[in-house]
A and B are shown apart, each in its own frame.
Chain A
Amino acid sequence: MFKILEKRELAPSIKLFVIEAPLVAKKARPGQFVILRIKEGGERIPLTIADYNSENGTVTIVFQEVGKTTQELGTLEAGDYIQDFVGPLGVPVEFPNHKKVLGIGGGLGIAPLYPKLKMLHQQGVEVVSIIGARTAELLILEEEIKAVSDRMYVCTDDGSKGRHGFVTVVLKELLEQGEKFDEIIIIGPPILMKIGSEITKPYGIPTMVSLNPIMVDGTGMCGGCRVTVDGEIKFACVDGPAFDGHKVDFDELIKRLATYKEEEKISLERFNEAHECK
């Protein structure tokens, strides 16, 4: 059992938990994730390690309530326990000789972007960031990203904060102005990672994306998380989740993410009914 030490609401339906998980915290590195199961009968869902503190033995997760399991998770409070919490999974990211990096986070993608930029900043790399959300209210971790960036751009789809428009608009501008980066990291909804990667490709700038296919075990055993990268099957849980954005088959990923749409709806409806009765 893993104790929730702290709960914060970052935005409507986006929550942050600090979890007591000393072994995970000790080995965690940017780019890795955990898989959790709330209770017996629950499903296993992957969540990125948004931050970790190996001294305090804590791991931070940030999640958006999109369906049954994340909504149920959101009902838990500080002091409650999560049955299973396993990690750190996936391959940590590394940026050996970088001098300047651009990090782009869309919506919830800002959470997984944060530990990477934090590491880069600590390594003394120049960090430029572009973060965006649908509305100002939904923009998360602005202060945290700012603290690890040399320059930050904020965008909202509705113009309620920062630039009016998508993060890719700013990305285009920077590249058109001739700004150079050793690497660009794009994390967010698959469609954003797809369009972003298409924009950076003609410039030949290495572009890292973090994929979010449906996972079960997270140990390379089931193959459910397979994605096509450079024409080859890769298992995102053991080969990723970070990949070269110029080589990912995003259309396939987007289709596969819809596999259980019908079942997810049934599951959520039942959960909501049970909750209204109480």
Chain B
Amino acid sequence: MPLNRSKKKTPMPTQKPEVRRRNFNEVALGYSEEEAVSEAQRCLQCKKPGCVEGCPVQVQIPQFIKRIAERDFEGAIKIIKETNSLPAICGRVCPQETQCEKNCVLGKVGEPVAIGRLERFAADWERAKGIHPPVIPKKLGKKVAIIGSGPAGLACAGDLAKLGYDVTIFEALHKPGGVLVYGIPEFRLPKIIVEQEVEFIQQLGVEIKTNMVMGKVLTIDDLFEMGYEAVFIGTGAGLPKFMGIPGENYLDVYSANEFLTRINLMKAYSFPNTDTPIKVGKKVAVIGGGNVAMDAARSAIRMGADEVHIVYRRSEEEMPARKEEFENAKEEGIIFDFLTNPVRIIGNENGWVKGIECIRMELGEPDASGRRRPVPIMGSEFIMDVETVVIAIGTGPNPLLTKPLKA
């Protein structure tokens, strides 16, 4: 097998920034067979592969990559699916740079093998061809309930079904997928892919019940009475956080969760062909520096905003967003206001947002997390004219969904 000695990953074909910033189609287009084979040939087939240690589901990485290098794509996807039921999703949205690819030996002298892209390739290759119905395992006759159909619930369901358990997932929303359907935008993870991976989980024999807000419609005790012997709780994070500054309840101030849910789950980008509306002004400010902020900002530009700012109180180095998403956002014209903190939102008498007052920050002493703490520069306040504000500063636990569950 020839070795590809390139220090860099085979580049991923993508939609051009000036085109993609106005559509919701997927940004990354995926490797061709030639590109995949060539990238697979970079892998050194380590005897003690660090990459596998970094993968939370222990995908047998060198083995599947070897199959790709040999053009045995069927064999590749089979190996991946032994331990991962959601490869098309993971290949796209796993933070590979802190997981599998972090430990790849090639990373010491250049770029690591593009493990995520290869996983995605294998999964997409299989989908294009038509997915083989999986071999249904011998049933153990034991029932397990899973609450929440996000990636955690789906992965757990897939693993248990493969072991022969009768698995039922209870999901609060009308569609399974959790953050995969309501949070992560279409242009990073097409919903059809989520649907197909969910279908695969169902083919494994998992039953999915939607419209089931657990704790309200059924309690854990009810589940045990119904004959479930174990319950897995994968309800994710709930309750969006707000900043506690004046003006946060003006009409066009959104939590990132609401903004993204309206656009992704409720398909507000098709309004009025769909029924759920959304307000996206000409100038939008997204507060926060994580992946969610990137998704919200990139969605806002696609909804037609002229100018989208990301307002973040620390500097570029401290920003928790994935580098790749930051680069994508910059290419799409998102403006980054680092070391800037909102102090109040300004509205008119009817409650519509007119702007945000911000204060400039500078980095002071490191805090408990080791990151340098931003401190305001007195007298540096200024007003940013915006019409829509999206707050993406994280989420906390949802009291409703945990309180009655424990009781």
Q: Residues of A with Cβ closer than 8 Å to B?
A: 23-24, 27, 37, 41-44, 68-69, 83-89, 216-224, 226, 228, 233, 235, 238, 252, 255-256, 258-260, 263-264, 266-267, 270
Other-chain contact of A259, B217, B274, B279 (Cβ < 8 Å) = B279
Q: In the assembled complex, how far is the CB of residue A25 from the closest CB belonging to chain B, in whole angstroms? A: 10
Cα of A4 to Cα of B370 in the assembled complex, Å: 59
Cα of A255 to Cα of B250 in the assembled complex, Å: 8
Cα of A224 to Cα of B253 in the assembled complex, Å: 9
Other-chain contact of B266, A216, A223, A233, A264 (Cβ < 8 Å) = A216
Q: Is the CB of B239 within 8 A of A267?
A: no
Q: Is the CB of A221 within 8 A of B257?
A: yes
Chain A contacts of B217 at CB under 8 A?
23-24, 27, 86-88
Q: In the assembled complex, how far is the CB of residue A21 from the closest CB belonging to chain B, in whole angstroms? A: 9
Other-chain contact of B240, A84, A222, A256, A267 (Cβ < 8 Å) = A222
Q: Is the CB of A267 within 8 A of B277?
A: yes
Q: Is the CB of B399 within 8 A of A220?
A: yes
Q: Is the CB of B351 within 8 A of A255?
A: yes
Q: Is the CB of A23 within 8 A of B174?
A: no
- B interface, over-half SS: loop
Count of inter-chain pairs, beta carbons less than 8 A:
122
Cα of A89 to Cα of B267 in the assembled complex, Å: 23
B273 part of interface (Cβ distance < 8 Å): yes
Chain B contacts of A217 at CB under 8 A?
172-173, 182, 261
Which of B251, B252, B267, B350 has the most chain A CB atoms inside 10 A of its CB? B251
Q: Which of B208-216, B295-303, B375-383 contacts A (4 or more CB under 8 A)?
A: B208-216
Q: A84-B174, A86-B211, A238-B400 are in contact. Are A219 and B238 (CB under 8 A)?
A: yes
Q: Is the CB of A42 within 8 A of B249?
A: no
Q: Mark B229-273, 1 if CB is under 8 A from A, else 0.
A: 000000000111010000011011011011001100011001111
Cα of A85 to Cα of B174 in the assembled complex, Å: 9
Q: Is the CB of B173 within 8 A of A255?
A: no
Can you list 29 residue pairs at the A/B interface with Cβ under 8 Å?
A23-B217, A27-B216, A41-B267, A43-B274, A69-B275, A84-B174, A84-B211, A85-B211, A86-B172, A216-B261, A218-B213, A219-B213, A220-B239, A220-B400, A221-B257, A223-B242, A224-B255, A228-B249, A233-B249, A238-B400, A252-B249, A252-B351, A258-B251, A258-B350, A259-B279, A263-B279, A264-B277, A267-B271, A267-B272
Q: In the assembled complex, how far is the CB of residue A215 from the closest CB belonging to chain B, in whole angstroms? A: 10
Cα of A219 to Cα of B395 in the assembled complex, Å: 14
B46 part of interface (Cβ distance < 8 Å): no
Chain B contacts of A260 at CB under 8 A?
277, 279
Cα of A86 to Cα of B254 in the assembled complex, Å: 24
In the complex, the chain B residue whose C-beta lies closest to that of A68 is: B275
Q: Is the CB of B267 within 8 A of A222?
A: no
Q: Is the CB of B216 within 8 A of A88?
A: yes
Which of B218, B242, B249, B270 has the most chain A CB atoms inside 10 A of its CB? B249
Q: In the assembled complex, how far is the CB of residue B176 from the closest CB belonging to chain A, in whole angstroms? A: 13
Q: Is the CB of B271 within 8 A of A220?
A: no
B63 part of interface (Cβ distance < 8 Å): no
* B165-179 interface (Cβ within 8 A of A): 172-174
Other-chain contact of A222, B252, B261, B401 (Cβ < 8 Å) = B261
Cα of A68 to Cα of B182 in the assembled complex, Å: 23
